[in-house]
């Protein structure tokens, strides 16, 4: 869809073509970021209005990334306003989180703990709980990658960070998840 078409077509029709096909992914992302369905609904509705009002700015390149970017930014605005503690920058990892990343022996080889051996006997509820415990920046890249199956480039576009940062967050987020699931009782 070219920019000219966007300008010539009815804006509502363009919105329907651009945003609505990604509603399921939008809702899924909002649900993972806000942590519950009610807030996710509010975020998606707010994002839809923002998308509609800004439909002329749609660059006609990647409707999916464009839509999810708006949802993601709306979710962060919502979190900043309603749950500021949930928005933690990844450089601010707690000591416990850092330790979770560093089960390493003296030679730098990662030690496989007994907990890790039993790691993936975890049921869905435990995995869900562990994922919910991650900070929003780690959680979002994992959700965008694993649930929405987006590539690094699209994730970088949506989260507005370089691809290297996406790689780093994915790696650290996954290590944290492994540590969290390994530490479960």
CA dist 103 and 54 (Å) reads 47
Render the burial of 53-92: b for 16+ CB within 10 Å, e for the rest.
eebeebeeeebbbbbbbbbbebbbebbeeeeeebbbebee
Indicate whether 70 belongs to the interface with other proteins (CB under 8 A): no
DSSP 8-state assignment for residue 110 = B
Residue in this structure with the two tokens 């991650």, named with its chain if needed: 134
Binding mask 134-153 for other proteins (x = CB under 8 A): --------x--xxx---xx-
Q: Residue 49 in contact with residue 4, Cβ under 8 Å? A: no
Return the number of the residue (94 or 126) whose C-beta is nearest other proteins.
126
Return the number of the residue (63 or 178) whose C-beta is nearest other proteins.
178
Question: Minimal distance in Å, beta carbon 88 to other proteins?
Answer: 20
CA dist 42 and 52 (Å) reads 15
CA dist 61 and 68 (Å) reads 13
What residues from 85 to 124 belong to the interface with other proteins (CB under 8 A)?
Answer: 104, 108-110, 112, 116, 119-120, 122, 124
Record the tokens describing residue 165, joined without a space.
């940062």
Question: Minimal distance in Å, beta carbon 161 to other proteins?
Answer: 15
Single out the segment in contact with other proteins by CB under 8 A; choices: 1-9, 15-23, 65-73, 91-99. 15-23
Residues that bind other proteins (CB under 8 A): 11-12, 15, 20, 23-24, 27-28, 31-32, 37-38, 40-46, 48-50, 52-56, 104, 108-110, 112, 116, 119-120, 122, 124, 127-128, 131, 142, 145-147, 151-152, 167-168, 170-171, 174-175, 177-178, 181
């Amino acid at each position: 869809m070219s920019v000219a078409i966007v300008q010539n077509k009815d804006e509502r029709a363009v919105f329907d073509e651009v945003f609505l096909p990604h509603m399921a992914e939008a809702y899924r992302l909002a649900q993972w970021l806000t942590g519950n369905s009610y807030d996710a609904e509010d975020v998606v509705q707010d994002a839809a209005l923002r998308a509609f009002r800004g439909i002329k700015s749609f660059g006609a390149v990647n409707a999916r990334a464009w839509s999810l970017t708006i949802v993601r930014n709306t979710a962060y605005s919502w979190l900043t306003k309603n749950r500021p503690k949930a928005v933690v920058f990844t450089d601010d990892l707690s000591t416990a989180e850092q330790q979770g990343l560093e089960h390493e022996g003296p030679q730098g080889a990662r030690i496989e703990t007994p907990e890790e051996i039993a790691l993936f006997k975890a049921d869905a509820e435990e995995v869900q709980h562990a994922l919910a415990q991650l900070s929003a920046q780690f959680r979002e890249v994992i959700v965008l990658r694993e649930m929405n199956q987006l590539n690094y480039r699209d994730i970088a576009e949506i989260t507005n960070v370089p691809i290297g940062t996406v790689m780093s967050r994915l790696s650290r987020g996954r290590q944290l998840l492994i540590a969290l699931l390994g530490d479960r009782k």
